[in-house]
Amino acid sequence: MFSAPKSTSKGQSHRARTFDPEDSKRVKHTRIGVWDLYEEKQPIFGWDIPGTSTLEYYLEITRSLPYVWQMLKDMSSIQNCWIFATLYVIVGLALSVIPAASLWYSGQLLTIIQTAIDTRTVDKDFLVRISAGRTGCAVLGRLLGHAKASLAYPLSNRLKQHYTMHLFHARARLDLPTFEDPAVRRQIEEASHSSRGGVAWDTFSMMVTAVSTAINITSEVSMLVAVLKDQPDGTLLAVICLSQSFLNWFSEIKSAGQGHSVWAATTRNQDYVKMRGLMRVVSLPEHRKEFVAGNLAEYCNTVFREATQRVGYEAGDFPEVWRHWKGRRRLSFASIFKEPWKELPQIVFTLRSMQSPASIPASLASLNLIQTTASNFGFTVYAFAYQFGSIADQLATVRKLYDIVNIPNRIPDGTVPFPEDAQKAKAGIDVEFRNVSFRYPDSEIWALRNVSFKLIPGQLGVIVGANGSGKSTVLKLIMRLYDVEEGEILIDGRDIRTLKLGDLRQSVSVLFQDYTHFPLSIRDNIALGNPSHAANDDQVRLAAKLGGAEEFIERLPEGFDTYLERPVPDHYSALPEGTKTIFGNPVKYGGIRRAADMQSSTGHNLSGGQMQRLAVARTFMRSMVSEDSTVGLLLFDEPSASLDPTAEHGALLSTCACAVGSLSGFLAKDLFERLRQLRGDKTMLFSSHRFGSLTRHADLILYMNDSVIEEAGIHSELLARDGGYARTWKLQAQAFI
Ligand SMILES: Nc1ncnc2c1ncn2[C@@H]1O[C@H](COP(=O)(O)OP(=O)(O)OP(=O)(O)O)[C@@H](O)[C@H]1O
């Protein structure tokens, strides 16, 4: 809904095991406008101050250290990384002592002033040397700062690239149920979370900054003590100024609101929710068709006006309302005393100067020195706390980054290679369900109950039944996207759980009902049907032809190189009205601009039927066009759902020049017929709502209802039985009369 402030987005989950907004002992509730904010109650000297000690906090750091060590070792494997890293550390450390060196020179200037007051003489050479040193420090500080920023770029890029591959691998290796698990998704999200250059860079720069900050503060404070110990009231002024910067920091942290605490906000104001919904209805292009056709303008205007009046002036996005509320809350005890406290050093100084007017110049110089150092000191600590949140949280992110590559998959791999005989498998494999029952993860409802059937090599099976009866689930279980809960599935007589997963999936081809297209080029989308032949353009084109997709692909301006959805959008400002296309794509303006004056261009829009032909082409790529394909079982989930009749009957395609001898024959026939001819002896299993040509040819029809197989047999048998299948078949037949 909104992005949390930076300091809050880090460092929450692993400390607070659970967060229950209703737990009033631990959670404070505040009503802000239409929003209910729930904040975990925090002890003042608990988590609020980054780096403060508690056992859990240190344990967290201790647990993460081996992973940080691993990260440092991994950095050595990245080209030139250690050179940049070492230089970065050296420059960072050198920078951290510059303020102390400047302070030393300033102290020397103080001594010169003091001597001048006492003796009325100035050592000019010494003054020149000290002034040069002081100026040199400033110049060196600037140069080192520049060098640090210049080193940060190549270093962070190297780390980013390395860990992007790491994250890619970690995500790619997960199976479906593991990937769908919300806990796993969260784990991945947390491991990928980073502000700028990735987790590794953030951690590395945090460590360098932590050490530099420590050196900076220690050296500055000790230098300040050394410089001021002989100055009149130096120590008193230093204490007042440092306490002032502490007060400042404390009030900032408090007013930053939740610091590092856990919080959540929701709105229960139905009028506000409705207002936001209506606002989207009138703003987004996807609703406009129905909005206009449904004549909704007047009704929506009235409802929106009424809802707005009821909500009053309290409506607003949470971040906006929250920011305003925090501004009001900023009037804390610390913030009230902060201002008068600032005047205290001046008051002390004035009192002292009245007592001994001769020391005014020296005192003035030391006051200035102390104030500058104290404000630097406060700023350094605050900047560190703000940038990195908590050290423990940052280090814990590294642990998560490494842990995600070890997330166990829910579907364990088998050990038996499959098939034993590739030629035989290619010519069809058999599949058998024995008393299979299955529930989806975290679901109480049985998706399949006691399902048994057998298809022998070369047979055509069709599963028919109402929505939600379990048809697609049968296909998913054959692919081992999930494992059965009871019973077993056998492929060529072997329990699929014993077979090597890669081999099993290599031998089966599936076209899902809810197939997706990858945000890659059309060529790649088809080629991924058979990754081992992805570079073979002829096969890709043949697969496109067989799937009935070649003709419309060729008509696209970029043909097979067209991206259906470009993963990298072009960005542009508000272009002059006459600009209709840019970079070959139409200029589009959405109802709501996502980022100031930036707008992304999207890819081409294909019809549902064209999209499905692409998906069919990918299936053909996998199963038909390659000589060495080991696919022996073809699964189709509602393959003709969005194909128009022309496409199904191949009329459009009959004009295609066919590349293979017998191709023209079956292009003119209906899709099922084409599939039947192309498959040779491969076993096929369809799930379909449609009865008709497909079921008439089926060797086995499974009529499913409410997760069980109610009837099984061939078309004529099931018609004769006059049960659910016959009823539905007659209903569908009547619809076409
Ligand atoms: N990912 C999932 N998580 C939980 N339940 C699911 C999931 N997918 C399907 N189901 C449930 O499993 C049951 C069987 O679904 P399935 O998709 O196999 O039905 P179907 O016969 O293919 O339906 P349709 O004809 O609409 O595609 C349904 O009750 C459905 O709600």
Q: Nearest-CA neighbor of 259 among 427, 12, 91?
A: 12
At residue 8, the pLDDT reads: 35
What pLDDT, on the 0 to 100 scale, is given for residue 546?
87
CB distance 403 to 191 below 8 Å:
yes
Q: Calculate the alpha carbon distances from 292 to 153, 280, 568 in Å.
A: 51, 14, 32
Give pLDDT, residue 306: 94
The pLDDT value recorded for residue 633 is: 92
- 354 within ligand 1 shell (Cβ under 6 A): no
Over residues 607-633, the pLDDT tens digits come to: 888 888 898 899 889 887 777 777 889
Centroid of ligand 1 to alpha carbon of 472 (angstroms): 7
- Ligand 1 centroid–CA 102 distance in Å is 71
DSSP string, 390-452: -HHHHHHHHHHHHHGGGPPPSS----B-S-SSHHHHHT---EEEEEEEEE-TT--SEEEEEEE
Q: Is the minimum distance from the CB of 443 to ligand 1 under 6 angstroms?
A: yes
**Pairwise pLDDT comparison (9 vs 538), residue with the higher score:** 538
pLDDT value for 321: 87
Q: What is the pLDDT of residue 252?
A: 60
Task: Give 599's pLDDT tier (boundaries 50, 70, 90).
Answer: very low
Q: How far apart are CA 398 and CA 688, in angstroms?
A: 48
Please name which of 109, 103, 6, 106 lies closest in space to residue 50, comparing C-alpha atoms: 6
Decide: 177 in ligand 1 pocket, CB within 6 A: no
Q: For 165-179, what is the mean pLDDT?
A: 93
Distance 724 CA to ligand 1 centre (A): 20
Residue located via tokens 């067989």? 546
Structural domain spans, the chain: 6-263+331-406, 411-517+608-737
Residue 421 has pLDDT above 60, yes or no: yes
User: pLDDT band at residue 666, thresholds of 50, 70 and 90?
Assistant: very low
- Identify the top-confidence range among 199-203, 562-566, 575-579, 589-593: 199-203
If pLDDT is split at 50, 70 and 90, which confidence band does 661 have?
very low
Question: In the sheet that 35-40 helps form, which strands lie side by side, from edge to edge?
Answer: 27-32, 35-40, 263-267
Q: Is the pLDDT of residue 402 over 90?
A: yes
Q: Is the CB of 465 under 6 A from ligand 1?
A: yes
pLDDT tier at 647, thresholds 50, 70, 90: very low
**CA 243 from centroid of its chain's CA atoms:** 42
The closest residue, in CA terms, to atom 25 on ligand 1 is 467
User: What's residue 300's pLDDT?
Assistant: 94
Given ligand 1 and candidates 176, 436, 472, which is best to mutate, with the most ligand atoms within 8 Å of its CB?
472
Q: Ligand 1, atom 1: nearest CA belongs to which residue?
A: 440
What was the pLDDT predicted at 46? 43
Tell me, using a 6 A CB cutoff, whether residue 477 lines ligand 1: no
What is the 483 CA–ligand 1 centroid distance (Å)? 15
Q: Is the pLDDT of residue 603 over 60?
A: no
CA distances from 6 to 10, 249, 316 (A): 7, 17, 21
Residues 54-76 have a mean pLDDT of: 85
Of the pLDDT bands very low, low, confident and very high (cuts 50, 70, 90), residue 491 is very high
Q: Is the CB of 469 under 6 A from ligand 1?
A: yes
**Separation of 471 CA from ligand 1 center, angstroms?**
8
Q: Supply the pLDDT for residue 142.
A: 95
Ligand 1 touching residue 467 (CB < 6 A): yes
Give Cα 663 distance to the centre of its chain: 45
| Test site for ligand 1: of 473, 482, 686, most ligand atoms within 8 A of the Cβ | 473
CA distance linking residue 685 with residue 432, whole number of Å: 12
Which ligand 1 atom lies nearest to the CA of residue 445? 29
Residue 654 has pLDDT above 80, yes or no: no
Question: Which residue, by CA, sits nearest to atom 20 of ligand 1?
Answer: 468
Could you give the C-alpha distances from 705 to 385, 468, 479, 735, in angstroms and in order? Answer: 60, 8, 22, 21
Q: Is 687 exposed, middle or buried (0-12, 13-18, 19+ CB in 10 A)?
A: buried
CB of 447 closer than 6 A to ligand 1? yes
Measured from the CB, is residue 451 less than 6 Å from ligand 1?
Answer: no
Please give the Cα distance from 511 to 685 (Å, whole number). Answer: 11
Mean pLDDT of 534-552: 91
Pick 462 or 378 by higher pLDDT: 462
Q: Which atom of ligand 1 is nearest to the CA of 474?
A: 18
Model confidence, pTM: 0.76
Does the Cβ of 468 fall within 6 Å of ligand 1? yes
Range name among 229-233, 434-438, 525-529 with the lowest pLDDT average: 229-233
Q: Is the CB of 470 under 6 A from ligand 1?
A: yes
- The one-letter code for the residue type at 157 is N
Question: Coil, strand, or helix at residue 101?
Answer: helix
- The pLDDT value recorded for residue 572 is 78
Ligand 1: atom nearest CA of 443 is 4
Distance CA 362, CA 115 (A): 9
The predicted structure's pLDDT at residue 250 = 64
Cβ–Cβ under 8 Å, residues 508 and 635: yes
Same fold, 6-263+331-406 and 411-517+608-737: no
- The pLDDT confidence band at residue 645, using thresholds 50, 70 and 90, is very low
DSSP string covering 549-591, please? -HHHHHHSTTGGG-BSS-SS--EE-S--TT--EETTEE----S
| Cα 574 off chain centre by | 29
pLDDT band at 155, cuts 50/70/90? very high
pLDDT of 140 over the 80 cut: yes
The finding on whether 702 has its CB within 6 A of some atom of ligand 1 is no
Provide CB contacts within 8 A for 621, sequence distance 6+: 526, 527, 528, 529, 530, 533, 539, 540, 543
Portion of the chain with pLDDT greater than 90, in percent: 40
Between 212 and 676, the more confident residue is 212
CA of 429 to the centre of ligand 1 (A): 26
Hey, which CATH number is domain 6-263+331-406, 1.10.1760, 2.60.40, 1.20.1560, 1.10.287?
Answer: 1.20.1560
Alpha-carbon radius of gyration of the chain: 36
Task: Quote the CATH superfamily of domain 411-517+608-737.
Answer: P-loop containing nucleotide triphosphate hydrolases (3.40.50.300)
pLDDT for the residue numbered 626: 74
Residue 660 has pLDDT above 50, yes or no: no
- pLDDT tops 50 at residue 48: no
* Residue nearest atom 13 of ligand 1, based on CA coordinates: 447
What residue's CA is closest to ligand 1, atom 29? 468
Angle, helices 199-228/124-172, rounded to nearest 10 degrees: 160
- When pLDDT is cut at 50, 70 and 90, the band that residue 2 belongs to is very low
Give how far Cα 142 sits from Cα of 84, 187, 576, 613, Å: 19, 41, 43, 62
- Does residue 471 have its Cβ closer than 6 Å to ligand 1? yes
Q: Which atom of ligand 1 is nearest to the CA of 473?
A: 18
Ligand 1 center from residue 605 Cα (angstroms): 28
- 465 CA: nearest ligand 1 atom: 21
| pLDDT reading at 98 higher than 50 | yes
pLDDT tens digits, 721-732: 999 999 988 887
Q: What are phi and psi of 416, to 5 degrees?
A: -85, 125
- Of the chain, the percentage scoring pLDDT greater than 70 comes to 81
Q: 473: Cβ below 6 Å to ligand 1?
A: yes
* Of 663, 669, 612, the residue nearest 646 (C-alpha): 669
Q: What is the pLDDT of residues 179-218, one digit of tens each?
A: 999 989 988 888 887 656 688 998 999 899 889 988 988 8
pLDDT at 299: 92
pLDDT in tens, 283-319: 888 898 889 988 899 999 999 999 999 998 878 889 8
643/545: higher pLDDT: 545
Closest ligand 1 atom to 463 CA = 21
Residue 253 has pLDDT above 60, yes or no: no
- By most ligand atoms within 8 Å of CB, the mutation choice from 471, 514, 685 for ligand 1 is 471
Span 564-587, average pLDDT: 78
Q: What is the mean pLDDT of residues 317-345?
A: 76
The token duo for 527 is 């080629």
Residue 118 CA to residue 128 CA, distance in Å, equals 20
DSSP 234-294: HHHHHHHHHHHHHHHHHHHHHHTSSTT--EEEEE--HHHHHHHHHHHHHH-HHHHHHHHHT
Residue 260 has pLDDT above 70, yes or no: no
Is there a contact between 474 and 687 (Cβ–Cβ < 8 Å)?
A: yes
**Atom 28 (ligand 1) nearest CA:** 468
**Is 472 a pocket residue for ligand 1 (Cβ < 6 Å)?**
yes
**Where residue 11 falls among pLDDT bands split at 50, 70, 90?**
very low
Give the rounded distance of the alpha carbon of 6 from its chain centre: 16
For residue 335, what pLDDT band results from cuts at 50, 70 and 90? low
SS3 (DSSP) at 135:
helix
Query: Above 70 in pLDDT, residue 255?
Result: no
- Is the pLDDT confidence value at 235 over 60? yes
CA 473 to ligand 1 centroid distance, Å: 6
Decide whether any atom of ligand 1 lies within 6 Å of the 445 Cβ: yes
Q: For residues 640 and 637, what is the distance between their CA atoms, to the nearest angstrom?
A: 9
Q: Which atom of ligand 1 is nearest to the CA of 180?
A: 1
Mean of pLDDT over the chain: 81
Report the nearest-CA residue for atom 31 of ligand 1: 468
CA 462–ligand 1 middle distance (angstroms)? 17
Mean pLDDT of 77-105: 92
Out of 19-23, 98-102, 407-411, 655-659, pick the least confident.
655-659
> Looking at residue 214, what is its pLDDT?
87
pLDDT interval class at 501 (50, 70, 90): very high
Ligand 1 pocket check for 513: Cβ under 6 Å: yes
More confident: 547 or 86 = 86
For residues 526 and 621, is the Cβ–Cβ distance under 8 A? yes
Name the residue with the closest Cα to ligand 1, atom 3: 440
Q: Given the CA of residue 442, which atom of ligand 1 is nearest to it?
A: 4
- Round to whole Å and give the CA distance between 704 and 708: 6
| C-alpha distances in Å from residue 23, one per residue of 31, 38, 41, 605 | 16, 10, 11, 50
Which residue, by CA, sits nearest to atom 11 of ligand 1?
Answer: 447
Å from CA of 469 to ligand 1 middle: 7
Instruction: Give me the phi and psi of 231, to 5 degrees please.
Output: -80, 145
